[in-house]
């Protein structure tokens, strides 16, 4: 059996190095709660989102070691990667919205992978530098018939708000598994031009294109571990993109269940409430044994721990391993 998980940790701080400082001090309740959630889930592989990145991967390495994972991986993200253009159209430069992906600093709330099995880092592929306007189907934001915020901004605007990576791991007794990781921008916090909604839509469809491109070169199953920031039915956003990805012929949707059904984030205090935004979508060739969203029951002591760690809940899928020939 192989347990594959996705979790948006919200382990992000207000400046570079602050998360590592809090880790090393050993007193931060959110960090302690996050480690407890990882221990409870006991997954073989976890895609982590909302985790601050540093160039030496010291914060990620510390987290992996404390959680009992001997392998970890992260690439420089688009989050906080500053440009010299006004990307959000507010008439100002050098602010969080002018980075390739929103961020107060480079690596703010980035993405990473931890694994108990070897990560084939030399075979990892990074698609994060792809320009949005270079997609054949790009739906670029406009106002009054003009590109928003400007043609000059879109000349440098990357599609991936955090990143799109294809990362193979090598479980025992079987072929490698290629994991497709991405964290799409929320389809909100914009204006009538729907810049974030359009970008979210195209980030999700880009993942489907990567799946199609990898189909003939991957030597094992493909699995998506992602936070798409989009529910297939509820909330804001262009739901057709999420429904198309869930229906992709190469994937299966195990529709994990929890105390709040398939919902993966506790936005009960917001409109429209809890949504399904995190996904583990295994290759259609794999046998799905079980799938769950970590929603502890009200009388479970783990509930307070999970709530302290993040508003998001971990999602995991257990697949039969090695796969049948």
Whichever domain contains 52, its CATH number is 3.60.10.10
How large is the average pLDDT for residues 275-300?
93
Q: Evaluate if residue 271 carries a pLDDT over 90.
A: no
Q: Evaluate if residue 171 carries a pLDDT over 90.
A: yes
Residue closest to 4 by CA, chosen among 165, 124, 109, 114? 114
A 10 A CB-CB count for 192 gives 9
Residue closest to 167 by CA, chosen among 127, 195, 208? 127
Report yes or no on 82 lying in a domain: yes
Query: Please, how many CA atoms are within 13 Å of residue 269, restricted to the half-sphere of its CB?
Result: 1
Q: Evaluate if residue 218 carries a pLDDT over 80.
A: no
Residue-wise pLDDT for 225-253, tens only, equals 999 999 999 999 999 999 999 999 999 99
- If you ran DSSP here, which 8-state letter would residue 237 be given? S
Q: What is the pLDDT of residue 135?
A: 97
Report yes or no on 325 lying in a domain: no
Number of domain units in the chain: 1
Q: Evaluate if residue 325 carries a pLDDT over 80.
A: no
For residue 272, what are the domain limits?
2-319
Residue 272, both tokens: 């429209």
Report yes or no on 156 lying in a domain: yes
Report yes or no on 75 lying in a domain: yes
Distance CA 322, CA 306 (A): 31
Q: Evaluate if residue 261 carries a pLDDT over 90.
A: no
Report yes or no on 250 lying in a domain: yes
Report yes or no on 324 lying in a domain: no
Q: What is the pLDDT of residue 297?
A: 87
pLDDT classification of 124: cutoffs 50, 70, 90: very high
Q: Evaluate if residue 91 carries a pLDDT over 80.
A: yes
Distance CA 146, CA 125 (A): 34
């Amino acid at each position: 059996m192989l347990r594959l998980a996705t979790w948006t940790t919200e382990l992000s701080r207000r400046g570079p190095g602050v998360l590592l400082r809090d880790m090393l001090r050993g007193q931060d309740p959110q960090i302690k709660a996050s480690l407890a959630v990882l221990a409870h889930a006991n997954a073989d592989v976890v895609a982590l989102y909302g985790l601050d990145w540093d160039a030496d991967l010291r914060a990620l390495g510390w987290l992996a070691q404390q959680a009992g994972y001997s392998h970890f991986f992260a690439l420089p993200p688009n989050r906080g990667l500053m440009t010299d253009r006004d990307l959000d159209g507010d008439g100002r430069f050098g602010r969080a919205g002018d980075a390739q992906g929103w961020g107060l600093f480079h690596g703010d709330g980035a993405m990473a992978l931890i694994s108990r099995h070897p990560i084939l880092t030399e075979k990892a592929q990074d698609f994060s530098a792809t320009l949005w306007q270079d997609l054949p189907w790009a739906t670029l934001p406009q106002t009054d018939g003009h590109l928003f915020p400007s043609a000059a901004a879109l000349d440098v605007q990357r599609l991936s708000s955090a990143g799109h990576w294809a990362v193979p791991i090598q479980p025992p007794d079987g072929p490698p598994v290629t994991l497709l990781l991405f964290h799409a921008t929320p389809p909100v916090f914009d204006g009538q031009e729907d810049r974030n909604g359009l970008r979210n839509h195209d980030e999700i469809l880009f993942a489907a294109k990567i799946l199609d491109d990898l189909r003939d070169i991957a030597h094992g199953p493909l699995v998506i571990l992602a936070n798409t920031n989009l529910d297939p039915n509820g909330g804001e956003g262009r739901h057709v993109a999420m429904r198309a990805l869930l229906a992709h012929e190469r994937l299966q949707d195990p529709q994990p269940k929890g105390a709040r059904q398939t919902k993966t984030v506790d936005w009960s205090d917001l409109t429209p409430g809890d949504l399904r935004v995190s996904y583990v979508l295994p290759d259609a060739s794999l046998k799905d044994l079980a799938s769950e969203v970590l929603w502890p029951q009200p009388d479970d002591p783990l509930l307070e721990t999970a709530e302290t760690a993040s508003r998001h809940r971990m999602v995991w899928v257990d697949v039969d391993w090695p796969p049948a020939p």
